[in-house]
Amino acid sequence: MDEITSVFVTESREQLAAMESALLELENSPDDADILGAIFRAAHTIKGGAGVIECNFLVAFTHVVESALDKLRNGEINANADLVALLLACSDHMGNLIGVLESGAEAPDAELQGEGDALLARLQRDWLNAGGADAATHPAAPAADAVLSSGGGVVETDCWHISLRFGPDVLRGGMDPLSFLRYLGSLGSIERLETIADAMPAADEMDPEACYLGFEISFASSADKAAIERVFDFVRDECTLHILPPRSKLADYMQLVMALPEDSMRLGEILVRIGALTQAELEEGLATQNAAALLPPDEDEDSALAAPPPQLGEILVEQKVVQPELVEAAVVKQKQVSDKKAAEARLIRIPADKLDRLIDLVGELVIAGASVNLLASRAGQADLTEATSIVSRLVESIRDSALQLRMVQIGETFNRFNRVVRDVSRELGKDIELVISGGETELDKSVVEKIGDPLMHLVRNAIDHGIEPPEVRAEHGKDPRGRLELNAFHDSGSIVIEIVDDGAGLNRDKITRKAVERGIIAAGQTLSDNEIYGLIFEAGFSTAEQVSNLSGRGVGMDVVKRNIQSLRGRVEVDSKVGEGTRFSIRLPLTLAIIDGFLVGAGEASYVVPLDMVVECMELQDQPRDRNYLNLRGEVLPFIRLRELFELPGARPKRENVVVVKAAGQKAGIVVDQLLGEFQTVIKPLGHLFRNLRGIGGSTILGSGEVALILDVQALAQLAARGEDHAHDTAHGR
C-alpha cells in the first residue's frame, strides 16, 4: 500500500468514526443542521479522497450515501430511526470497503459487494426516489428567481452544462485533468463532451508541461450544483468552471458564452453540438445578446470578463450564473476545509515508543534532580539551594507536561458504546438509554487501550442480562426505558469506572444454585453477598437461561476479571434485586511518575501515594494488642508496617500514623518516621514479583537507594485476611 493510500485509510477511519457518532447524535436530534453537516462532510471527504486514489468501488458506494445525506441536509427527506439505522449500516459497509482497500484487493468480494448493493438498493428505493423528482428541479428553481431576465425562455435540456477550462499549471501541480472527468462520471453520466483545445499555441511555442485544455460537458446527474462543483475542489484555484443547471434560462447560456475566452460563435456551435442548446435557441440567444451589447455595458460584468477569474464564486454571483446560496455554501465549505487543516496542523502523530523514551528520560531527570536537591541542601549554600529549587520547579513542569502527553480522555472509549447500546438493545427489543458521565476523566493511554474489551463485556452483559424487556419493566412499575450509566472519576489515586444498570439485579439464589450445579461451591455452603456476586467472575459461569449470541456462553466475566487484574485493577459488583447492578472497575495509577509521601520503617523507606494520604499524626497511648485508634471520635483501624512486613528490630519509642483513604475507607499505617513529600518515578518490580501483594512498585530515592511503593488497598486486604485467618486458626478450623 503506498503512502497516499495508507494516509487515506487512516483518515477515512477517523472520518467514519466521526460520522458514526454524528449519526447516533442525529437519532436524538434529527433536525440539527450542524450534525447533518458533519455527517455529510465526513462522507464527502471519504468520497473525495477515494476519488483521488481512484478507489472506484468506494466512490461508487459513498456517492449514493452522500446523495442521501445531501437530501437529508437540504431537508428534502427527514431523518428517522430507520434511515439512521440504514446509514449506520452504510457507514459500517464503508468501513469494510476501506478494509478491502487496505488489504490491497482490487475490489470487494462478492459477498461484500452484495451487501453493499443491498444497502444501496434500500437507500435508492426508500429514500432517494421518494424525493428524486423534486431534487432534479430544485437547483433550477432558485436560479430562475435570481437571474435577471433579459429575455429568452428556458432551454429544453435535462442535462447540466459544465464549462471547464483548466489553468496552465494543472499538470505541473500534479493533477490529471482526466481523473476529474472520471470522477465526475461517478456522479452521473457524461452525455456529451467536447474538448476545447483553442488555447493550444503553435507547436514550437507550446510548453509540454502546461495544460491548455478545456471541456464543454453535457452531464446527466441527480447531483446538485454544489456536489458537481466539489468534484473540482482540488483544482478550484486553477480552473475556470461554469456550471449551468438543467433547464437554465437561455440568457444564462449566453452569459456563459460571453464569459468564456473563446469566440462566442464557435462556443455557441459547440454548445449546439453537445446538445446543450438547439440551433434555434442559439440564434435567439445571440440575437438577444447583440441587442444587449448595444446598451452601455454593465461595468461589473465588464471587469469580471476582463479579469481572469481567481475567485470564481464572486464573479459567478455577479454574473448571476450561480445561485448565491450555492456560493455561500461553497465558501463555508472552503472555510471548514481550511479550519480543519489548521486543526490538523496542531496535531502531531508520533510513535508511542518515542514518547515512552521521553517519559523514561524525564523520570531519570526527576531522580537526578532529587539527588541534586539533597546535595544542595546538605551543602547549605543559599544561592545553590535557590538555583536547584528553580531547576526542580522546571523539572516538575516538564514532568507534568510529559505525562500529559500520554493521557487521553476516556470519553472516546465511552462514546463507542453509544453504538453498542443502540444496536444490542434494538436486537433484543429493549429500549435503553445510555448516560455517560466523566468522559473527560483522563487515563494513561495504555490503560485506555486495554480497558475497552472488559468494558464491552460488561456493557453487553448489562444490556443482555441486567436490563429487563420493556414489558417486564412496566409490570414491575419501572420506566419501560432502561437506563445504563457509564461513569468515570478519580478516587484517591485510582481511576474508577462504573457500569450501572437499573435492571433486575443479580439473583442470589440463582447464582448460588448455578454455582452448586457447576461445582464451583459445595451445596449448603453459606456465603456473604459479596462472595456470591464474586462467583459470576468464575470461569464457566453464566446465569442466562437462554444462550444468546451476545453473551451467555459463560466466557466473558472471568476474562473481564483477568483483564482488569492484569492492569493491576479490581472489579467489584454491587447489586440490589429489582433495582439494578453496579460494576465498579478500580484501576491504579499506572503512570510513570507520582507524587509520593516518604515514610521510614525499620531501615527501609516506603512511599505512600500522596493523593491517598489524608493526614499524619503521632501514635499515642496505644494498647499493644489492638490495632485501632480513636481519630476524633472515629474508629480507625491501622496496620503496623513492621508487623506486616516482619521487619527486624524493636519498635521505636515514638511511632507515627499515616491516615490513608482507599476505596472510600480510611485506615492508618503505622510507621517509624515521616520523611515528607517526594516526587517519584515508578519502577516496576518486574515479573519476578508479580504475585507480591501490598507493594505497587519501587522507586529510586535521591540517595540511590530503592524504596518500595505501598499499595494501600492491597495492604488493607492483606491485613484483613491475616486477621480472619488468625481468628479461624484460633478456633481450630
Partner 1 sequence: MGQVIAKNAASLALSAGNQGSQQYLTFTLNSEVFAIGILNIKEIIEYGALTEIPMMPEFIRGVINLRGAVVPVVDLSARFGGNQTTVARRTCIVIVEMTHVIEDSEVRQDIGIVVDSVNEVLEIPPAEIEPPPSFGARIRADFIQGMGKVAGKFVIILNIDRVLSVDEMAQLAAVGARSGSDGDDTAH
User: Judged by CB under 8 A, does residue 649 bind partner 1?
Assistant: no
The gap from C-alpha 342 to its chain's centroid, in whole angstroms, comes to: 19
Using the rule CB under 8 A, give the single segment among 244-252, 412-420, 463-471, 720-728 that binds partner 1. 720-728
User: Judged by CB under 8 A, does residue 550 bind partner 1?
Assistant: no
Least separation, in Å, of the C-beta of 379 and partner 1?
A: 22
Kindly report the backbone phi and psi dihedral angles of residue 569, in degrees, each rounded to the nearest multiple of 5, phi listed first. Answer: -110, 180
Closer to partner 1 by CB, 271 or 709: give it. 709
Closer to partner 1 by CB, 667 or 700: give it. 700
The gap from C-alpha 676 to its chain's centroid, in whole angstroms, comes to: 42
Closest CA to 413 of 369, 379, 378, 445: 445
Least separation, in Å, of the C-beta of 688 and partner 1?
A: 5
Among 106, 380, 646, 733, binds partner 1 (CB under 8 A): 646
Least separation, in Å, of the C-beta of 444 and partner 1?
A: 19
Among 558, 695, 702, 717, binds partner 1 (CB under 8 A): 695
Closer to partner 1 by CB, 274 or 715: give it. 715
Using the rule CB under 8 A, give the single segment among 248-256, 485-493, 497-505, 643-651 that binds partner 1. 643-651
User: Judged by CB under 8 A, does residue 248 bind partner 1?
Assistant: no
User: Judged by CB under 8 A, does residue 341 bind partner 1?
Assistant: no
| Binding letters toward partner 1, positions 570-609, x by CB under 8 A | ----------------------------------x-----
Q: Which helix (H) or strand (E) holds 601?
A: strand 593-601
Among 587, 708, 712, 716, binds partner 1 (CB under 8 A): 708
User: Judged by CB under 8 A, does residue 704 bind partner 1?
Assistant: yes
Closest CA to 556 of 540, 534, 570, 571: 540
Signed CA dihedral, 628, 631, 632, 634: sign only: negative
Residue 389 to residue 304: CA distance in whole angstroms: 67
Closest CA to 16 of 98, 72, 71, 112: 98
Closer to partner 1 by CB, 207 or 723: give it. 723
Closer to partner 1 by CB, 240 or 627: give it. 627
User: Judged by CB under 8 A, does residue 449 bind partner 1?
Assistant: no
Q: Are 595 and 496 in contact (CB under 8 A)?
A: no
User: Judged by CB under 8 A, does residue 683 bind partner 1?
Assistant: yes
Kindly identify the residues of this chain, within the stretch 17-56, that bind partner 1 according to CB under 8 A.
Answer: none
Q: How many CB atoms lie within 10 A of CB 695?
A: 16
User: Judged by CB under 8 A, does residue 678 bind partner 1?
Assistant: no
Least separation, in Å, of the C-beta of 353 and partner 1?
A: 13
**What is the distance in angstroms between the CA of the first residue and the CA of the last residue of the chain?**
68
User: Judged by CB under 8 A, does residue 636 bind partner 1?
Assistant: no
Least separation, in Å, of the C-beta of 708 and partner 1?
A: 7
Among 248, 388, 581, 698, binds partner 1 (CB under 8 A): 698
User: Judged by CB under 8 A, does residue 707 bind partner 1?
Assistant: yes
Using the rule CB under 8 A, give the single segment among 235-243, 347-355, 669-677, 699-707 that binds partner 1. 699-707
Closer to partner 1 by CB, 370 or 462: give it. 370
Burial of 286 (0-12, 13-18, 19+ CB in 10 A): middle
Using the rule CB under 8 A, give the single segment among 36-44, 507-515, 652-660, 725-733 that binds partner 1. 725-733
| Binding letters toward partner 1, positions 360-399, x by CB under 8 A | ----x--x--------------------------------
Using the rule CB under 8 A, give the single segment among 32-40, 419-427, 453-461, 681-689 that binds partner 1. 681-689
Q: What Rg do the C-alpha atoms of the chain give, in angstroms? A: 36
User: Judged by CB under 8 A, does residue 732 bind partner 1?
Assistant: no
Residue 533 to residue 510: CA distance in whole angstroms: 11
Q: Are 489 and 496 in contact (CB under 8 A)?
A: yes
Closer to partner 1 by CB, 202 or 730: give it. 730
Residue 548 to residue 427: CA distance in whole angstroms: 11
Residue 317 to residue 322: CA distance in whole angstroms: 6
Closest CA to 145 of 285, 249, 27, 298: 249
Least separation, in Å, of the C-beta of 402 and partner 1?
A: 17
| Residues 6+ away with beta carbon under 8 Å from 374 | 702, 703
Q: How many CB atoms lie within 10 A of CB 414?
A: 21
Residue 572, beta-bridge partner list: 584
Closer to partner 1 by CB, 302 or 364: give it. 364
Residue 714 to residue 660: CA distance in whole angstroms: 13
| Binding letters toward partner 1, positions 345-364, x by CB under 8 A | -------------------x
Q: How many CB atoms lie within 10 A of CB 385?
A: 14
Q: How many CB atoms lie within 10 A of CB 701?
A: 18
User: Judged by CB under 8 A, does residue 692 bind partner 1?
Assistant: yes
User: Judged by CB under 8 A, does residue 645 bind partner 1?
Assistant: yes
Kindly report the backbone phi and psi dihedral angles of residue 435, in degrees, each rounded to the nearest multiple of 5, phi listed first. Answer: -115, 120
Among 3, 688, 731, 732, binds partner 1 (CB under 8 A): 688
How far lies 230's CA from each of 56, 171, 188, 309, in Å?
A: 17, 19, 14, 17
Burial of 393 (0-12, 13-18, 19+ CB in 10 A): exposed
Closer to partner 1 by CB, 314 or 643: give it. 643
The gap from C-alpha 424 to its chain's centroid, in whole angstroms, comes to: 20
Residue 279 to residue 286: CA distance in whole angstroms: 11
Residue 505 cell numbers, joined:
439485579
Residue 92 to residue 94: CA distance in whole angstroms: 5
| Residues 6+ away with beta carbon under 8 Å from 515 | 521, 532, 535, 538, 541
Closest CA to 238 of 170, 178, 335, 182: 170
User: Judged by CB under 8 A, does residue 729 bind partner 1?
Assistant: yes
Least separation, in Å, of the C-beta of 680 and partner 1?
A: 12
Using the rule CB under 8 A, give the single segment among 500-508, 513-521, 525-533, 703-711 that binds partner 1. 703-711
Among 306, 382, 522, 730, binds partner 1 (CB under 8 A): 730
Least separation, in Å, of the C-beta of 488 and partner 1?
A: 27
- Give residue for cell 434494538: 426
Q: Which helix (H) or strand (E) holds 450?
A: helix 445-461
Burial of 697 (0-12, 13-18, 19+ CB in 10 A): buried
Residue 420 cell numbers, joined:
453498542
Closer to partner 1 by CB, 491 or 558: give it. 558
Least separation, in Å, of the C-beta of 703 and partner 1?
A: 9
Closer to partner 1 by CB, 425 or 605: give it. 605
Among 210, 398, 617, 644, binds partner 1 (CB under 8 A): 644
Among 178, 332, 337, 706, binds partner 1 (CB under 8 A): 706
Q: What angle do CA 239, 244, 247 make, to 5 degrees?
A: 170
Closer to partner 1 by CB, 136 or 604: give it. 604
Residue 376 to residue 293: CA distance in whole angstroms: 91
Closer to partner 1 by CB, 232 or 645: give it. 645
User: Judged by CB under 8 A, does residue 675 bind partner 1?
Assistant: no
User: Judged by CB under 8 A, does residue 59 bind partner 1?
Assistant: no
Closer to partner 1 by CB, 200 or 695: give it. 695
User: What is the size of the binding site for partner 1 (CB under 8 A)?
Assistant: 32
- Applying CB under 8 A, which residues contact partner 1? 364, 367, 604, 644-647, 683-695, 698, 700, 704-708, 722, 725-726, 729-730
